[in-house]
Amino acid sequence: MVHRTLSTVAAIAATLTAAAPASAKIIEVGRTDAKPACPSSPCLAVSRTTGYQTKWGDDRNAFTVPADGKLVAWSISLGKPTAPQIAFFNKRLGGPASAELTVLRRGKKFYARTITQSPSQLLAPYFGQVVQFPIDRFLNVRKGDVIALTIPTWAPALTPLLTDHSGWRASRAKNKCNDRKTQTAQTALNLNTQYRCRYPARLTYSATLVTLPVPTPAVKSAGP
């Protein structure tokens, strides 16, 4: 699936660049190169929330869209929980593992608004893999937007707790950071929510961005 989707992305970029002497770029926003916690004990999973990575180590910009364009696919690195772990999460967190990509536009005081989202995907068939999902209706994004994960149930896409300055924020109230069961997933557009809870771990996801082509600067006439 990954190779087929990347071929499609390359074809899209070629189409964007064929009509004029301008160039689009294909950029992977986010990171999937960290090992999720599951099936280790404890098997940590993201649950019933929308979250975005604020720092990956000391990098503050890995999950920020660097230029205007379109998101054409998204990827997620999944742990491989055991059958008892899957049964535990399914029973307590609303059903089978699922997730979708969400684009946020951040404001002040940790507020962020949902701008656009991909369709939700069931994750269980891909446990233990890095899987890439194509987005049929490309998502328009602006420079400075942030990519996030929305998890209505649960997803084994979380590393163990870290001490390397990494952190992610969830759409939970400040006094509810330890409440993993209450539903706080942002599953509709134009929701403006505070992301008050920060956790020292890494969410393992990314999005494939095709930037808008930049027009060639006009050549000034030298005059008569």
For the chain, residues with pLDDT lower than 70 are 1-22, 219-224
Contacts 24+ apart (CB under 8 A), 173-177: 173/197
In angstroms, the CA 103 to CA 92 distance is 27
In angstroms, the CA 118 to CA 136 distance is 9
Domain extents for the chain?
2-10+30-211
CB 219 within 8 A of CB 184: no
pLDDT tens for each residue of 101-121: 999 999 999 999 999 999 999
In angstroms, the CA 168 to CA 110 distance is 12
User: Considering the chain, what is the average pLDDT of its residues?
Assistant: 91
pLDDT tens for each residue of 165-183: 999 999 999 999 999 889 9
Phi, psi of 88, rounded to the nearest 5 degrees: -60, -50
pLDDT of residue 185: 98
CB 48 within 8 A of CB 150: no
In angstroms, the CA 15 to CA 24 distance is 10
pLDDT of residue 180: 87
- Residue 200 makes CB contacts below 8 A (sequence gap 6+) with 161, 162, 163, 166, 167
Residue type present at position 41: S
pLDDT of residue 203: 98
pLDDT of residue 103: 98
In the structure encoding, which two tokens stand for residue 107, read together? 């404001």
Helix (H, G, I), strand (E, B) or coil at 18: helix
pLDDT of residue 213: 86
Please state, in angstroms and as integers, the Cα–Cα distance from residue 3 to each residue in 10, 27, 122, 133, 166, following that order.
11, 15, 20, 11, 30
